[in-house]
Amino acid sequence: MNICLYAPEQEESLFIRKRAKTWQRSGLISENQFKIIEERTSSQLAETSLFFRILYFIFTWICLGATIGFVAWMLDLDNEGSIGFLFLLFSIPFYVLAEYLVRRYRVFRHGIEEALVLMSLALFCGGAVMLVLSLPGHPDDNQMMLLTASLVCLFSFWLYIRFGFLYAALISTVALGFFPFQFSLPPIWERSLLFLLLGLLFLMSLQTECDTLEDFRKKRKGIIQACLFMGLYLTVNLRIFTVAESWFDQISLHFTPYAGFPPIFYWVSYILTVLIPALGLYLGIQHRKRALINAAGIALVLSLATNKDYLGLKHYAWDPMIFGATLILAAVLIIHWLAKGEDKARCGFTTESILKPERYGLALPEIGAAVMPGVTTASTETAPVVPSPFEGGQSGGGGASRNF
């Protein structure tokens, strides 16, 4: 049974079109061949460009927010219960309107329906929580958090299966991640439970994959698996949230031995920070999953970055330099190794640029380059001026004084 508002054939057609566009951009097919593919993959869905989608989303969101504000102002609502009720009330027509737009106009990732369902999600969950809070003798903070997380998790999961929004699946997983922290368990149990939960989802996702699955579903699953994988990694790395402080302020982490966890748990987590990225890389390479390879690569870099913190070693200012040089060296070795293979590839892996990505004006590395002058100027401006050994009479000869 297909719960999704879009037929799998329609989504597959859109997937093929996107692929064909990338092939055309990369010079693998001609304009005429692209047109043939376009003709044969009519999905009957109304798509829009990324920038129009963003504009539709922003302005629909403004309109919906202002509408609620206007009604709340008209009714002069000022207590949690009534506002919560209003939120709940509005969440229904917003959701219904989103479904209507998809059914009637066949809009697909248009921004408007996305703003409607996300506003509906926020209003439904926020409204329910506010209503509960307005009740006399309402539950404690942990129970409220559990209620919020449950509602967000269920609603966003529904949005994922109904509309196919990937970010809804991500929101649902993040909300699920809050569960173990609401039972006042010891931190070791909280982490273990979360690890089990995410691990189970990751395994389930791997298990439900098969060759007959449509390409668009495979791609979607790949991204979800990568997100779950990152979640798993962030759960086991106990030093991840202090990495920026320890690298750039050179703070010694000895004052929190074992990051506040039992030593055995700490060292197991240390081993896992190496094993999990390795496993991710293995699975990604084995099944050619780009999102998983990228996630595992990032996790591996983070493991290297937190290695000193784990071992309780002192950080030095030149650590980023050595780390950067190591990354470049690793990249160069991989490039040379792959280039020496037959047809400049090994097991199909190559460093050649095959598919050109779409350009949206300014890419992230270029933004990084643009802020670089600020970084270099700041790092030297704060450097203290070294006093000359001849200044102030410090190296004066016998009998010389500062005020000679």
What residues from 103 to 122 belong to the interface with another protein (CB under 8 A)? 112
Distance, in Å, from the CA atom of 283 to the CA atom of 288, rounded to the nearest integer, reads 8
In the complex, minimum distance from the CB of residue 358 to another protein, in angstroms, rounded to a whole number: 10
335/344 Cα distance (integer angstroms): 10
3 state SS of 160: helix
For 349-388, strand residue ranges (E) read: 349-350
Q: What is the 3-state secondary structure (H, E, C) of 194-262?
A: HHHHHHHHHHHHHHCCCCCCCHHHHHHHHHHHHHHHHHHHHHHCCCHHHHHHHHHCCCCHHHCHHHHCC
**Segment 319-348, which members bind another protein (CB under 8 A)?**
319-328, 330-332, 334-335, 338, 345, 348
Q: At its nearest, how many Å lie between another protein and the CB of residue 374?
A: 3
Cβ-contact 214, 8 below 8 angstroms: yes
Q: Which of these, 5, 20, 41, 19, lies nearest to 218 by C-alpha position?
A: 19
Residues 265-304, interacting with another protein (CB under 8 A):
288, 290, 293-294, 297, 301
The CB-of-233 to another protein minimum distance in angstroms stands at 17
Min. distance of Cβ 337 from another protein in angstroms?
A: 11
Least Å distance, CB 82 to another protein, is 17
Q: In the complex with another protein, which residue's Cβ is closer, 196 or 321?
A: 321
Which of 23, 94, 155, 229 forms a contact with another protein (CB under 8 A)?
23
343: tokens are: 């047809």
> Of the two residues 33 and 79, which places its CB atom closer to another protein in the complex?
33
Binding track, positions 228-267, relative to another protein; x by CB under 8 A: --------------------x-x-----------------
Number of residues counted as binding another protein (CB under 8 A): 102
Nearer to another protein (CB atom), residue 1 or residue 74: 74
Question: For another protein, what does the binding mask look like between residues 84 and 103, x meaning CB under 8 A?
Answer: --------------------
Q: How far is the CB of 52 from another protein (least distance, A)?
A: 5
Near another protein by CB under 8 A, which window of 62-70, 133-141, 196-204, 395-403?
62-70
Which of 1, 2, 49, 104 contacts another protein by CB under 8 A?
Answer: 49
Rounded CA-CA distance 294/46 in Å is 31
Of 185, 66, 52, 180, the closest CA to residue 111 belongs to: 52
Asked whether position 390 contacts another protein by CB under 8 A, the answer is no
Q: Is 47 a residue that touches another protein (CB under 8 A)?
A: yes
Q: Is 379 in the site for another protein (CB under 8 A)?
A: yes
State the Cα–Cα distance between residues 256 and 270, nearest whole angstrom: 15
352 binds another protein per the rule CB under 8 A: yes
Separation CA 219–CA 291 (nearest Å) = 9
Asked whether position 208 contacts another protein by CB under 8 A, the answer is: no
Quick one: 62 or 400, whose CB is closer to another protein?
Answer: 62
- Whose tokens are 């409220």? That residue is 144
Does the protein bind another protein through residue 58 (CB under 8 A)? Answer: yes
Cβ neighbour number for residue 16 with a 10 Å cutoff: 17
Contact window for another protein (CB under 8 A) among 142-150, 175-183, 197-205, 379-387 = 379-387
Structural tokens at position 41: 């993959």
Q: Does 36 bind another protein (CB under 8 A)?
A: yes
Q: Distance between CA atoms of 219 and 294, rounded to whole angstroms?
A: 14
**Does the protein bind another protein through residue 138 (CB under 8 A)?**
no
Distance between CA atoms of 83 and 34, rounded to whole angstroms? 52
